[in-house]
Amino acid sequence: MTAAHFAAKRLKLLGTGRSLPGPPVSNETLCEALESACHPRAGRRARSIAYRLGITHRHVSRDLHVPLSGTRITMQAPQLCHAALFEAMVEAGIDIASVDYLIGHTSSPHTLLPPNIAWVADELQYTGPYLELRQACTGFANGLQIASAMAAANALQAIAIVGSETGSPYFGMSDAFLSNEQLVNYVQMGDGAGAVVVGQDDGSEDQIISHIFLGQIGLGREPGFFIEGGGSSQPQCSMQVPVFRHHVQTVREHGGELFVRGVEAMVQRGHSLGEFDWILPHQANGHLAHLFSQYFDVPEEKIYVTADKLGNLGSAAIWVSLDLLRRSGNLKKGQRVLILGAEASKFLFGGFVYQH
């Protein structure tokens, strides 16, 4: 069994925030745009995929009326991050001058260099140190592990973490670009940013993040999700833009195992799914509550899912969903949430426990 690494220290959650670009985009709007730019059958295929994924809406930062949206993006990644961080800082009762360290994680940065978080720092007028993780759906777990060690070792009072994705501009509205995997990306993925502000463990049981873990089972496996083009191994982009390759069958075969490994990691620590009031898994599709409930034999109503209305937000998914759950009124004081992340790039799993 693959071991997960658990952080030794807890964190205090001081605030959460989220930002989504523009109004929600329905399947019909998305497919009509595709039909206008491509063959009508592309829209029919996209509708069928969206139905199977259980996704009805998502937010996108691109202009759907141009084939390639690189020059017409309605809300850039640094702006989304700024808005999400501002919400988190408001709840925490601090301003940017009180943030000791800024951590970002994304697979779709504003630029490759400087990192996305550098542009976020500019937006925030932040003069302190920052770092960025080039990760997708489990970037939150690595960010928390780093924050946990930093807070404990350096007595830091406020560390801000933001996960974001603006992947929609990578999609080309043309028949030449279309494949089944790209149509899956088109309807499954959404854009947005989610943020948290965390600090040192205060010894209480209120708003505590604990059991932060991360592991991987990707050794020797081909990536399930990766970016083709733009890297040093292949700087040229054959389709004009870097392409998010999505090996749907590989993800289908191995993706579920990531949740199993996450649950096993908690069981090894003496916990069971039954002791948690809520379970918040990575938001891969709108049917996840039903699928997770069936496989792990837990009540479906305990599983919090937002993918039906937001799509898969990648690096932003866990933070956005946690913010929505905390602000929904359904999460009561003292309740515990098990967060389970799953990333198909090279098959990482991670998570944490949040006590409200």
Domains and CATH numbers, the chain: 12-200 (3.40.47.10), 207-355 (3.40.47.10)
Tens of pLDDT, residues 151-160: 999 989 999 9
Considering only CA atoms, which of 61, 60, 58 is closest in space to residue 76? Answer: 61
Report the share of the chain in percent with pLDDT over 90: 79
Give the residue-averaged pLDDT of 287-303. 96
| 115 prior amide bond cis, ω within 30 | no
The pLDDT, as a whole number, for residue 70 is: 58
Question: pTM of the prediction?
Answer: 0.96
Are 181 and 246 a contacting pair, CB within 8 Å?
Answer: yes
Amino acid identity for residue 352 in this structure = F
Using CA atoms, how far apart are residues 210 and 293, in angstroms rounded to an integer? 24
Model confidence at 121: pLDDT above 90: yes
The pLDDT, as a whole number, for residue 263 is: 97
Tens of pLDDT, residues 266-293: 999 999 999 999 999 999 999 999 999 9
Tens of pLDDT, residues 239-272: 878 888 888 888 888 889 999 999 999 999 999 9
Using CA atoms, how far apart are residues 32 and 42, in angstroms rounded to an integer? 10
